[in-house]
Every structure is written in structure tokens, then in C-alpha cells.
Structure 1
Amino acid sequence: MKSSGDETVMGIGEIAQRFGLATHVLRHWESMGLLAPTRAEGDRRRYGPDDLYRIAVILRAKNAGFSLDDIREMITTGDPAVRRGVLRRRQADLTERIARAQAALGLIECALGCDHEDFTGCAHFQAAVAERIGMDPAVRS
């Protein structure tokens, strides 16, 4: 780590190592407009505290499931309505995924609690499958 005045400045390799990223990831983010490191001698990228913060924000957003395009839109817009729109889309997607995961968990818990040797013989399981294919469970019996 090198110091330039009061600001700590790091090269791309140091930043990549610090965040556990490949250098090509940082270059890609820069090409997408997510990062804008300063340039020093020999056109080398130099990352300061603001860049560190931006990288941490990008990583948090990626962990929350945002695409890089969504992250760029939220970071670059000055319009709070645009930002809220991106957040609402992600919220709706997560709500749907959570509902599907809860349904899957319910099915697994039902199968684990079933006394049948083969859980596919369980009436609750058969009803869930019949519902999925739009069939009356009584028709199969």
C-alpha cells in the first residue's frame, strides 16, 4: 500500500487481493462504468478510499442478487425513483423465490413426516403433485 498525501492508494493487484477478486473482474467493472480509478504513471490504475467503498457496495449488491446492470443503474442514476424501481424489481423477484423455496421446504417436510416407505405414496405429496399438473388428486386413486 502506498500513500499519496493523506489518501491511501492501491494498485489493481492489491485491491483484487484485498477483496478476493481477479483483476479482470475489476477491469470489467470499470468497462461497465461501475468503477473509475484514477490513473498514475504508465496509465496504471490507482484505487483510493472512495474506490474501496464502491467495490464493497458492488459486492454487497451482488450478494443481494442484483445484476451488474442493476447495480450500475442504481449507482449512476441521480433519480431516486429509478433507484426505487430497481429495488422494487429485486424485491418482487426475491419474494417469488422465497415463496417457491417455502413451498419446496413444505414438500420436503411433508415427505419426511410421511409414514409411507415411498413418500410418493403419501396423500399430501400426491395432492401437491396433482395440483402442480392441474389434476384432481381423486382421479389418480
Structure 2
Amino acid sequence: MRSSEPNGTLGIGALAERFGLAPHVLRYWESVGLLSPARDTAGRRVYGAGDVVRVAVVLRGKRAGLSLDAIRALATGGPADRRAVLRREAEELRARVAAARDSLALVECALRCDREDMTGCRHFRAVVGDTTTGSE
């Protein structure tokens, strides 16, 4: 860990820079219970190796589509809490994947349509759920 402090810790600016974040993001994450940095004698936040890992976990969770509340529950809850959060998140992810598949099917159908107005194509209408009959 590259340190900006003599004792191997990082200040808020150095930690934020390391992850390409604005310092206010780290302060917000602290306010919602995701980070608990130590303080130096002047009251400034100092982040150790564990905090660096926690920031990486938060960022990875956000990339996975998890809310900050879910990330906090995963990081601070016991095994039963984690499983409950993970089950809920897995179900939401399954729903997003299904929606993405439906969207991809619509786009691929539209790509295959050579009509001037693709809404007149019976295959396209079938994909969007319109069962109205019409010429193709």
C-alpha cells in the first residue's frame, strides 16, 4: 500500500485518489456506516490496509449492482443476514438478467427487420407482445 503518512496509513485525499474517487464519497460512505477510519491526534481521518480493502469491496459491490445498504449488510451482518441479503440480491439480479434478455431479443428482432416501419412486422410485434394481426 502506497502511504502518504509515516505510519503506513493514508489520508483521505490519498485514499480517494488511489481509487479515483472524490474525498466527499469516502466521507459519505463513513456517514452511512461503510467506513470507520481511525483519527490522528488532530482529528483527521487516517485509513489503514483494512480500509483500503473495504473501499475495494464497496466499489466491487456497486459494480455488481448492489445498493450501499446491501453492501453494508454484507460487510457488517452475520452469516444469516448475509445469506438473506444475497438471496434477495440474487433474485433481483435474475430479474435484471431476464429483462436484459428480453431487451436483446427485441433489438435483434429489429435488426432483422427490413421494413421501413418495423412496428408493422408481425415478428417484431410478437416480440413486444402485440398479437394484433397485420400484413408483413
Is the pair's TM-score, using the shorter chain for normalization, greater than 0.5?
A: yes
SS of the equivalent of 1:9 reads: coil
What SS does the aligned partner of 2:45 have? strand
Question: Which letter maps to 1:98?
Answer: V
Unaligned runs of 5+ in 1: none
Alignment correspondent of 2:132: 137
Moved over 4 A (4+): none
2:105 corresponds to which residue?
106
Q: What is the rounded CA distance, in whole Å, between the counterparts of 1:20 and 1:126 in structure 2?
A: 45
Structure 1 residues 34-78: Cα deviation after superposition (integer angstroms, max 9, x where no partner): 11111102101000111101111111111111111111111111x
User: 1:119: which partner in 2?
Assistant: 118
Aligned length: 132
Amino acid at match of 2:43: D
Partner of 2:6, secondary structure, is strand
Q: Where do 5+ consecutive residues of structure 2 fail to align? A: none
Q: C-alpha separation between the residues in 2 aligned to 1:2 and 1:45?
A: 11
Distance 1:127 1:63 in 2: 34
- Structure that is richer in helix per residue: 1
- The structure that is strand-richer by fraction is 1
Give the alignment's TM-score, normalised by structure 2: 0.89
Query: Partner letter of residue 103 of structure 2?
Result: A
The one-letter code sitting in structure 2 at the alignment partner of 1:16 is A
Deviation at 1:27, TM superposition (A): 0.8
TM superposition shift of 1:125 = 1.1
Deviation at 1:137, TM superposition (A): 2.5
1:53 aligns with 2:48: no
CA–CA distance in structure 1, aligned partners of residues 10 and 109 of structure 2? 54
Of 112-121 and 30-39, deviating more is: 112-121
**Sequence identity (%):** 53
Give, in whole Å, the separation in 2 of the partners of 1:12 and 1:69. 22
Deviations 1:13-35 (A, max 9, x none): 11111111111111111111111
User: Which runs of structure 2 are paired with 1:1-141 in the superposition (5 Å)?
Assistant: 1-4=4-7, 8-77=8-77, 79-129=78-128, 131=129, 136-138=131-133
Q: Does structure 2 retain, via aligned residues, the 8 Å contact 1:12–1:23?
A: yes
TM-superposition CA deviations, 1:58-106 (whole Å, max 9, x none) = 11111111111111111111x2121011111111111111111111111
